[in-house]
Amino acid sequence: MAIYLTILILIGIFIFLLKNQEKESIITIEKILKSLKDKKFYEKIPQELKEQYIETLKKIIKQDLELDNSLEELREYRKELEVTYNSLFEKSKKLEYSNQILETRVTNLSNINALSRTVLSIIELEHIINIILDAYFVLTGAKKVSLYLWENGKLTNKQIRGSINFKGEISYSEDILNKFTYQDYKKIYEDLKKGFALEKDEIVITSPLLVKGKEFGVIFIIEDKNKFTDSDEETISALTIQVAIAINNAKIYADLRIKERISQELEVAARIQQKIIPKNIKEIYGLRIANYFNPAKEVGGDYYDYNVLDEENFSITIADVSGKGVPAAFLMALGRSILKTLEIQHINPSKNMKKLNSIIYPDITEDMFITMMHTNFNYRTKILTYSNAGHTPLIVYKAKKDKVEFITVKGVAIGFLSEYNYRQGELKLDKGDIVIYYTDGITEAENPNKELFGFDRLKEVVYNNKNNDVEVIKKNILNEIEIFCKGYQQVDDITFVVIKNTEENKGEIDEK
């Protein structure tokens, strides 16, 4: 505004000075104005106006430069505004996309959480698998799903969703699987994946089922390659974790149910076994009797038995079935029942053993057998007749000799050979004589140093208690075993019978 006012003043002065030369003055004014417009110096400017003219021209040039600078700054600012706007617009679009992804993830997580609560409340494995495989189709872009589980060394197909014709199977021994690393399992799954027939645009996603380092199997998910998203990948990963946890829980629960059922069956078996083990005979035919039976597990393979055969004969038997637990207990019960039947027909121990062996041999496996010491005591003659089938020898204290001895005859365990003639021996029991029937659970009892209790310690306990009653002898044998083992875990059944001849004459049956 100031520059235009200066120009007007300049023109006014010029017109006043040249008012008498109108035509010439108009031409000069036009040239002055043109020079100011073009920002070029006009040489013929009247002297009176020259100073003001120059100052005005300078101001015009300066202001024009300032205006150009301002315009350039405005252009740059506009460019910056456009860049900022475009950047904000892109960020806005990205934020909107991120929000959509976040909403999808939150929805999927919510669905997976609900799914997790559902499957954790189910205990049937097949039901769990059906629910989760259906979830893959709802929560991801899955077109086909195939689930495999490891069972007894085999990777077996359990469920398929969609049109999949391939059902590969891989098998390894348990020993080899126990040595496998994560990479070994990964290679197995990758090799198995090659068996799937895919369309041109399809891909296979491999999801191993793993819980705390334990491999349960693998899920193969087939999707369209162009539709597979990061969200799908995350959801598949989350679902796979839920599958693995649910399968693990179902297997744990199934194992617990099996263990609970076995435990209940063992309790019943233990009660039956305790009932068939005799406890009530304390004295018969001049013999004082004490016994002890303690299986290493709920039920055991050891047993002892008494049988009053007639007015003169009384049998005592102790046996040890190979192995422990239910199989051993079943074989023990079978052997006991057969032997009791045979004793009705024969008093002779060796004949009973031979017949028992011939009956049992065809019905037991190669890894099962029975060691047995089978004896008969005749109260009239005071003779103990014995026959041994691979069992530990009798430990006998002879009062007249004041000496502890091993008494036995050789013979193989029942179940080793189809036909075998067992030997027989006789031992006259005098007053004060002691006989110990026992299983190797005593002699092979271990202490923390892996030392065995052994025969010598047992003989020593018997000798040191030669003047004591059978109940005291039993108690002191158990005390010595406990002292020796020092709390070390019992690994085998402990069974023994102590008899002591207290008189030369006929005794009476005393059941207490």
Strands 403-407 and 214-224: unpaired
Interatomic CA distance for residues 127 and 58, integer angstroms: 95
Give whichever of 115-119, 448-452, 486-490 has the largest mean pLDDT.
Answer: 448-452
Q: Is 95 domain-assigned?
A: no
Q: Is 94 domain-assigned?
A: no
- The whole domain housing 29 covers 2-86
**Does one domain contain both 457 and 365?**
yes
Q: Is 484 domain-assigned?
A: yes
**Does one domain contain both 340 and 244?**
no
Of 268-277, 426-435, 464-473, 475-484, the poorest mean pLDDT is in 268-277
Q: pLDDT at residue 492 above 70?
A: yes
Q: pLDDT at residue 511 above 50?
A: no
Buried b (16+ CB within 10 A) or exposed e, 60-76: beeeeeeeeeeeeeeee
**Does one domain contain both 307 and 415?**
yes
Task: List, in sequence order, the alpha helices (H) in 194-314.
Answer: 230-276
**Does one domain contain both 250 and 289?**
no
3-state secondary structure of 148: strand
The count of other CB atoms within 10 Å of the CB of residue 398 is: 18
Query: What's the CA angle centered on 406, arms 295 and 510, to 5 degrees?
Result: 60
Radius of gyration of the chain (CA): 53
Q: Is 91 domain-assigned?
A: no
Contact 290, 284 (CB under 8 A): no
Task: Please give the pLDDT value at position 387.
Answer: 96
Q: Please, how many CA atoms are within 13 Å of residue 354, restricted to the half-sphere of its CB?
A: 12
**Does one domain contain both 485 and 398?**
yes
Confidence label for 5 from pLDDT (cuts 50, 70 and 90):
low
Higher pLDDT: 270 or 210? It is 210
Task: Please give the pLDDT value at position 385.
Answer: 96
Task: Please give the pLDDT value at position 507.
Answer: 44
The pLDDT tens digits of the residues spanning 364-373 come to: 887 889 999 9
Interatomic CA distance for residues 29 and 15, integer angstroms: 8
- Total domains present in the chain: 3
**Does one domain contain both 286 and 325?**
yes
The pLDDT tens digits of the residues spanning 135-163 come to: 777 777 788 888 888 888 888 888 888 88
Q: Is 106 domain-assigned?
A: no
Of 110-114, 218-222, 349-353, the poorest mean pLDDT is in 110-114
Of 104-108, 158-162, 313-317, 424-428, the poorest mean pLDDT is in 104-108
Q: pLDDT at residue 271 above 70?
A: no
**Does one domain contain both 44 and 130?**
no
Interatomic CA distance for residues 476 and 467, integer angstroms: 13
For 318, residues 6+ apart whose C-beta sits below 8 A from its C-beta are 302, 303, 304, 372, 373, 391, 437, 438, 439, 495, 496, 497
Q: Which of 70, 86, 102 is a domain's end point?
A: 86
Instruction: Taking each helix axis as running N to C, give the angle between helix 2-17 and helix 22-38, from 0 to 180 degrees, rounded to the nearest 10.
Output: 160
Strands 281-284 and 214-224: unpaired
Q: What percent of the chain has pLDDT over 70?
A: 79
CATH number of 434's domain: 3.60.40.10
Report the chain's mean pLDDT, rounded to a whole number: 80
Name the pTM for this structure. Answer: 0.55
CATH number of 181's domain: 3.30.450.40
Q: pLDDT at residue 455 above 90?
A: yes
Give whichever of 130-144, 164-178, 279-293 has the largest mean pLDDT.
Answer: 279-293
As beta bridge partners, residue 148 has: 157, 218
**Does one domain contain both 315 and 446?**
yes
CA proximity to 222, closest of 142, 126, 316, 293: 142
Q: pLDDT at residue 454 above 70?
A: yes
Interatomic CA distance for residues 165 and 364, integer angstroms: 45
Contact 45, 10 (CB under 8 A): no
| Average pLDDT of the residues in 238-247 | 76
- Strand (E) or helix (H) holding 287: strand 287-294
Interatomic CA distance for residues 335 and 309, integer angstroms: 18
Interatomic CA distance for residues 168 and 160, integer angstroms: 12
| Average pLDDT of the residues in 55-82 | 78
The pLDDT tens digits of the residues spanning 395-439 come to: 999 999 999 999 999 999 999 898 999 999 999 999 999 999 999
